[in-house]
Every structure is written in structure tokens, then in C-alpha cells.
């Protein structure tokens, strides 16, 4: 099997509210919207791809998703999101597993971790 990519899918209650949050607060781009009216969208932030949907073929799992995004400048991103009033679930800090990270919540309770490798200054 050759794999091409992987897209996490978050279930959300209100697609338009979520699109606004992911675009205006987190800085994601909207790659596509689908459905009439729209109920599914593909988003990207750098090399990260995330899909969100508000209509379910299966059990409603709104607010039960989690992804972790490795990034740079994690401290400035943390400050920016804090200043915007984003719900911080886990404050920024150095972790035993070698990353400096924090976790936020989207409007539906899905969690998103952001982290950078801890660098040792000489």
C-alpha cells in the first residue's frame, strides 16, 4: 500500500462558526467547501491538513477530536492566541518528552496541541 496523505476530521456543530475560528484566529486557509449548503470543509496551515464537518453519516462525535501540530515560534503563537482570548487547555511549558507546547480548544471542544522541539542554548 502506498499512502499519499492523512487528514484528521473534526466534527463541529456549526461549520461557519468553525471556519471563522480556524481562519481568523488560528490562521488556517480554506482549501475547499462542500455540500449545499456547505457542511464540510478542508483547511490547511503550512503542511497541516484538517477537515471539519457539521453533518454526520455516523455517530456524532462533536468535540472529541485532538490533533498535535509541530511548529516553530511556539511562544509567540501562544501569546497571540492568548491575546485573542482562545481557550487554553494546557498552558505553555517544557515537557519531559522534549517539546515545549500548549493545548487549546476550538469552539466545539476539539483540542489542538502546538509544540516545538526544546533547544538547548550553549
Q: What is the pLDDT of residues 81-117, one digit of tens each?
A: 999 999 999 899 999 999 999 999 999 999 999 999 9
Q: Could you tell me if residue 1 is inside a domain?
A: no
Residue 92 sits in a domain whose CATH number is 3.10.180.10
Q: What is the 3-state secondary structure (H, E, C) of the chain?
A: CCCCCCCEEEECCCHHHHHHHHHHHCCCEEEEEECCCCCEEEEEECCEEEEEECCCCCCCCCCCCEEEEECCCHHHHHHHHHHCCCCEEEEEEECCCCEEEEEEECCCCCEEEEEEECCCCC
Domain tally, the chain: 1
Q: Could you tell me if residue 3 is inside a domain?
A: no
Q: Could you tell me if residue 19 is inside a domain?
A: yes
Q: Could you tell me if residue 2 is inside a domain?
A: no
Judged against a pLDDT cut of 60, whether residue 122 lies above it is answered with no
Give the pLDDT of residue 63: 82
Q: Could you tell me if residue 78 is inside a domain?
A: yes
CA pair distance 25, 18, nearest whole angstrom: 10
Q: Could you tell me if residue 39 is inside a domain?
A: yes
Give the pLDDT of residue 36: 92
| Mean of all residue pLDDT scores within the chain | 92
Q: Sheet holding 29-34: strands in order across?
A: 8-11, 48-53, 40-45, 29-34
Query: How do residues 12-43 score in pLDDT, each as one tens digit?
Result: 999 999 999 999 999 999 999 999 999 999 99
Above pLDDT 70, what percent of the chain? 98
Q: Could you tell me if residue 122 is inside a domain?
A: no
Judged against a pLDDT cut of 80, whether residue 67 lies above it is answered with yes
Q: Could you tell me if residue 106 is inside a domain?
A: yes
Contact 10, 69 (CB under 8 A): no
Domain span at residue 74? 8-54+64-117
Q: Which carries the bigger pLDDT value, residue 55 or residue 31?
A: 31
Please state, as a whole number, how many other Cβ atoms lie within 10 Å of the Cβ of residue 53. 20
Amino acid at each position: 500500500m502506498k499512502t499519499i496523505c492523512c487528514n484528521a476530521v473534526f466534527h463541529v456543530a456549526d461549520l461557519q462558526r468553525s471556519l471563522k475560528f480556524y481562519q481568523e484566529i488560528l490562521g488556517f486557509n480554506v482549501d475547499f467547501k462542500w455540500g449545499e449548503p456547505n457542511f464540510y470543509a478542508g483547511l490547511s496551515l503550512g503542511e497541516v491538513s484538517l477537515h471539519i464537518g457539521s453533518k454526520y453519516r455516523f455517530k456524532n462525535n462533536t468535540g472529541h477530536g485532538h490533533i498535535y501540530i509541530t511548529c516553530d515560534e511556539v511562544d509567540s503563537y501562544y501569546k497571540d492566541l492568548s491575546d485573542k482570548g482562545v481557550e487554553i487547555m494546557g498552558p505553555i511549558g517544557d515537557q519531559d518528552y522534549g517539546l515545549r507546547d500548549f493545548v487549546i480548544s476550538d469552539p466545539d471542544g476539539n483540542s489542538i496541541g502546538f509544540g516545538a522541539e526544546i533547544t538547548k542554548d550553549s
